[in-house]
Structure 1
């Protein structure tokens, strides 16, 4: 996702601080008090408290008077994006067809900082029963440990990728997670050369994923298309033999529309 450079006079600092408070809530910290929100958002406690109170007043947070947590109203943002954004609407019929054809789980993700965000998905009932965890629209996953992340990182210009990886801590999520920057660079280079990426139980145990880039007619990578299977049911050889061609053909069909 591209960040727009704006003039200092056009920058609304109060809005930015309010959004930083909203972004402080995640799966690790679902409930925050003013002190915790201040630490996570880089604000003073007094400023964080005012933003928390305002967001609660507007309905974006719920509170018990001490701690705050996200309210359902925040889903208006994601719902509006999914309803109006072009990419999810374009790829959804293809994902539905792939899931029906192969009885597997497919998704499309975009890069947002150090994470990938699922913006479209489709899974057969069989795939949903067999997979150890569920993916849903808006799920955020660490880019370094996912097949979609590696495809999207591989699409970066070398200078941009160097800036992305420099000094970045790569958290270990499973015993198979690559946390060494040199090893990650090698995997990214391999993904760039192969034009696909595989991640085996690096983000979640019991998950084998394969991804390919989704490009427009100018050759720019806009997103990544992937399939997720259980390694107990399908090995890497079968994944590449049976499902890689489906992903590649779908990417070719989507290209004129992106």
Structure 2
């Protein structure tokens, strides 16, 4: 959607960009770092930081700023009002109880996949995960099973636009960062209609994902199961995990 320039509130956009500048790599920012991360001037960054701190969205020691618990209002409101997470949660819980594995649902947001639902009540099958898989976690789309499924379900024109000028970060030795090989990889995922990603995001971690479509055929999200190489061996994937995920996707389709 494109709006008229007169309807665009630049100050609001800059303020939100400041909030989005905080992440795992940079948990605390000062005005200089914020300006560098957002592309606004240092003076503007300082004013936005001070305002957000005054409103309670940031905490500060006078030099550096960090997110306060107040920002969770946004996530809480999304989880409470969005139909998608509430629809998917029972199915993810059921899958986890049935298999004692961990399942997630992810949507695409720019260059990242965002976890909007996770199975609950079962311990992680993989004991040590360097990257959090909590609700709201943002993971690089090119290096995850769900992200690749969602990219494969873009139109070819939209995927080409997504890839244009983008550098694919190398996260592990198994991450595909070459543009041409990555295009081939996504074409394969588009053909298979599922993705098995092996150690592309974290060494020792394997994940299988399938798309979630509504009755009109639109892909709204992707669900995956995460495990070790042994748990997601090729034969086991074809015999157990892929049919399980595909059955879940089919059962969810009328509800999406």
Provide the C-alpha distance between the structure 2 equivalents of 1:124 and 1:230, rounded to a whole number of angstroms. 20
- Tell me what 2:15 maps to: 18
Q: Deviations over 1:187-233 (max 9, x none)?
A: 11111101100100010111110000000011010000111011144
Contact map agreement 2:96 2:122 (CA 8 A) in 1: no
DSSP-derived class of the 2:25 partner:
coil
Distance (Å, rounded) in 2 between the aligned partners of 1:43 and 1:51: 10
Root-mean-square deviation (Å): 1.1
Alignment correspondent of 1:198 = 196
**8 Å CA contact retained: 2:101, 2:125:** no
Equivalent of residue 34 in structure 2, options 27, 33, 37 = 37
Alignment of 1:120-139 (within 5 A): 120-123=117-120, 125-126=122-123, 128=124, 130-133=126-129, 134-139=132-137
TM-superposed deviation, 1:241: 1.7
The alignment's TM-score, normalised by the length of structure 2, stands at 0.96
Contact preservation (8 Å) 2:207, 2:232: no
| Residue equivalent to 1:145 | 143
Q: Which residue of 2 aligns with 1:256?
A: 254
Mapped partners of 2:127, 2:236: distance in 1: 17
2:224 maps to: 226
Describe the superposition over 1:48-73 as per-residue Cα deviations: whole angstroms up to 9, x where unpaired.
10000000000100000001011111
Q: What displacement does 1:234 show?
A: 3.6
Mapped partners of 1:239, 1:136: distance in 2? 24
Q: Could you tell me which of 59, 63, 74 is aligned with 1:77?
A: 74
Contact 1:131–1:207 (CA under 8 A) maintained in structure 2: no
Runs of 4+ in 1 over 2 A off after TM superposition: 123-126, 129-132
Number of residue pairs the alignment of both structures matches = 254
Shift of 1:123: 4.8
Gaps of 5+ in 2: none
Preserved contact between residue 209 and residue 227 of structure 1 (Cα < 8 Å): yes
Query: Counterparts of 1:205 and 1:240 in 2: how far apart (Å)?
Result: 22
Q: Distance in 1 between matches of 2:128 and 2:110?
A: 26
Using the size of structure 1 for normalisation, the TM-score is: 0.96
Aligned pairs for 1:175-194 within 5 A: 175-194=173-192
Corresponding position: 1:238 with 2:252: no
Alpha-carbon contact 1:103-1:124 (below 8 Å) kept: no
Conserved 8 A contact 2:115-2:138? yes
Distance in 2, Cα, partners of 1:131 & 1:214: 27
